[in-house]
Amino acid sequence: MKRAIFSAFRRYEIYVVTTIIAVVFVAAMGIVALALRSSMATPPYEALSESDLRQVFATAYLRFREDDGTPYLKVELHNGTLWWIKKVEFDFEGARYVLRESDAFRPLHLGAVRCTLKKPPKDRNQIEYDVKIVAAYGYSPSQTGAQKAPGPVAGGSGRAGL
């Protein structure tokens, strides 16, 4: 009996080993998927309040593509708050535009974003515009881990060097 089982195992060894490896791999991927499921879901963005929205500015520069000459806006966001801004809505020449962080090469608060125009501007000689931001969304300072009020570090007496 043992000899028959051993010879059958030798004959189908590659299938048995492949099956074991596949089962272990699928089980590991399932465990990783369950572990990542909760960590990938981020809380929804919050809308900035009116007082915070007044501290967020945007400057747009009219640019033209080199290959075909179509106009686009280079939008620079100036964030005067501690919010981590993920989405901005603004009006330009009567059209509403939405810029998301996924549209940018780097986070919105770090630089300029290219915005494709729905219709070209009337005056092509003006190249700089102050853009009125209608709404902005993102994570509040408490969610981004901003520090609280400054105080002594590591339980010191508050007197440095003494």
- The range of the structural domain enclosing residue 106 comes to 46-141
pLDDT digits (tens, 9 = 90+) for 78-123: 888 888 888 889 988 888 998 887 776 666 666 678 888 888 888 8
The verdict on 54 and 134 lying in the same domain is yes
The verdict on 53 and 33 lying in the same domain is no
**pLDDT in the model for residue 146:** 47
**pLDDT in the model for residue 134:** 92
The verdict on 8 and 63 lying in the same domain is no
**pLDDT in the model for residue 19:** 95
The verdict on 75 and 11 lying in the same domain is no
**Whether the Cβ atoms of residue 117 and residue 71 lie closer than 8 Å to each other:** yes
The verdict on 14 and 90 lying in the same domain is no
Query: Residue 150 falls within a domain, yes or no?
Result: no
Query: Residue 70 falls within a domain, yes or no?
Result: yes
**pLDDT in the model for residue 140:** 82
The verdict on 100 and 77 lying in the same domain is yes
Ranges of residues in the chain with a pLDDT under 50 are: 146-148, 162
